[in-house]
Chains A and B, each alone.
Chain A
Amino acid sequence: GDSVTQMEGPVTLSEEAFLTINCTYTATGYPSLFWYVQYPGEGLQLLLKATKADDKGSNKGFEATYRKETTSFHLEKGSVQVSDSAVYFCALSPFDAGNMLTFGGGTRLMVKP
């Protein structure tokens, strides 16, 4: 079946540091890929998405590129802020964004001032 693997956390960075959270997936066909963010005590929010190979999703300074050749969707941000501290989940949907999601294990990011 489909699966998503992302780097384990926690990831601890200083403010303005560069962030990379790795995500790789296994799926048949052409899944859609997502990054969701969960702030403390809140539900999940969609951060960005990409629906086909070589698409780049971006939002709030975060970026991720759908790499079919490496089955990856790594999340990056050039300069993190304390407010970015949260848990980040990589996910895929086999058909389109409106279908069930398979999540990675989540990566907790802690940004220190």
Chain B
Amino acid sequence: GAVVSQHPSRVICKSGTSVKIECRSLDFQATTMFWYRQFPKKSLMLMATSNEGSKATYEQGVEKDKFLINHASLTLSTLTVTSAHPEDSSFYICSAPRQGANQPQHFGDGTRLSIL
């Protein structure tokens, strides 16, 4: 079964709305989680690294104020797309590695965000 749960799976909302996406590790603690964005028929691009108890590390070109990341506990990271616009429509995917050397990452099922 799934070890990383991502919610919601699909969101459709009006322009200007803020949308929160949750990523939970179900049976392990994750001090680090990763947020990716996937454009249609394109690859996944790393947006940011979410660090439990500290600020997220954003990749170049990703707006920190647009994509707010909070990692308040060892099992939960949230991505909030603030004042979303149609160009923010995309597929967002989180991943979390188990702790320990060379542990694989587990991916959530993704969230399809559609901004009208």
22-66 of chain B: CB within 8 A of chain A: 32, 34, 36, 41-46, 49
The reply on B81 being an interface residue by CB < 8 A is no
Cβ of B46 and Cβ of A104 under 8 Å apart? no
20-70 of chain A: CB within 8 A of chain B: 32, 36, 42-46, 49, 51
Cβ of B34 and Cβ of A101 under 8 Å apart? yes
Of A11-19, A72-80, A91-99, the one touching chain B: A91-99
> For chain B, which range describes its interface: under 10, 10 to 19, 20 to 34, or 35 or more residues?
20 to 34
Take A101-B46, A103-B43, A105-B42 as given contacts and tell me if A49 and B104 are in contact as well, using a CB distance cutoff of 8 Å.
yes
Cβ of B104 and Cβ of A103 under 8 Å apart? no
Docked CA distance A102–B44 (Å): 8
Take A44-B93, A106-B42, A106-B43 as given contacts and tell me if A98 and B102 are in contact as well, using a CB distance cutoff of 8 Å.
yes
The reply on A100 being an interface residue by CB < 8 A is yes
The reply on B15 being an interface residue by CB < 8 A is no
Cβ of B93 and Cβ of A97 under 8 Å apart? no
Interface centre among A44, A45, A99 (most CB of B within 10 A): A44
B residues neighboring A (CB under 8 Å): 6, 32, 34, 36, 41-46, 49, 93, 95, 97-105, 107-110
